Each structure stands twice: as C-alpha cells, then as structure tokens.
Amino acid sequence: MPETLKVDGKMNVHIISPTKSVLDGVADKVLLPTPYGNIMILKDRAPLFTATSSGIMWVYNEGVKPVAYFISGGIAEIRRNICSVLAWGVKADEINKERLHSWRLNLEGELPKIHSKMQKKQALERIDFLKMLETRPSLLVPPDFE
C-alpha cells in the first residue's frame, strides 16, 4: 500500500533508528551522505536503494533554514516521493561538543569487544566522523545550492 504525501509538492522524509523514529516530516530536497559521495534527492526522482555513510544529512524546505541530522552508516530507499533512511540518527541541534566527545570515547571503549571486521570498520568510520565534528564545527553550515 503506497504511502500518501503529507504535503502536496513535497516528499515525505523518514529517519528510522533501531530504537526510535528520529524524523517523520516533509522536504523539498535532501542531501544524503553515501559511501560514493553526497547525493541530492529531489522529489519525483527515480527509485533508488543505496547505502548511507556516517555524515550529515541535510533536509531542505523552501523559506526555512536547512536542518542537519547526524546519521550513521545504514541504508536509504527512495520511492514515490518518499525518502526513508534506516540508520542511527540525531538532530544536529540536539547535541554539543561534550556529547560528541562522550559518544566517541564510548565507541572507542567498545572497539576491543568488536570481533567482526565489518562492524569494526563501521565503528572506526563513526569514530573518525565524530572526531571531525568535534574539531570542525564549520561542517554544520549548510551547503548552498542556489
């Protein structure tokens, strides 16, 4: 059963984490981090299924400041003006430098307990991403596409 659009002329956007729904809203466009680079998702685009990488997902709505979400590696499905991202995520304005530092330290503490090469690689990518955010707050300035 297809999902109906919440607002005509926009696309529905979801970020679903293992423990909760982080975002259930609408957007004109979404900038999505993937292992292949950032992808701009516009309404009415062809269906797409892709991996996501740790990074900043930007949600754009005309006349409103873009909203940033930190997401982890996961997957995204784009279909019928619906952009669904399955990954750990948090709204950027809900965190601060101390929280980023705490997350990074916790993740570094968990590294010795990880035995899977793939999970270890993903954890190291998240640690690098958190380090980058701690040292480069300018990353939270939205890219301008106008």
Q: Write the CA distances from 98 to 103, 105, 111, integer angstroms.
A: 9, 11, 20
pLDDT tens-digit profile of 94-126?
777 788 888 889 989 999 999 899 888 888 888
Check if the beta carbon of residue 142 is closer than 8 Å to that of residue 58: yes
Please report where in the chains the tokens 């999505």 appear, as a residue: 32
The neighbour count for residue 112, using CB atoms within 10 Å, is 8
Longest dimension (CA), the chain: 49
pLDDT tens-digit profile of 48-79?
999 998 889 999 999 899 999 988 889 999 99
Stated pTM of the model: 0.77
Beta-bridge partners for 58:
31, 68
Four-residue CA torsion sign, 51, 15, 25, 138: negative
Integer Cα distance of 60 and 28 in angstroms: 6
Angle subtended by helix axes 117-135 and 97-110, to nearest 10: 160
Q: Using the 8-state DSSP alphabet, how is residue 16 labeled?
A: E
pLDDT tens-digit profile of 14-23?
999 888 899 9
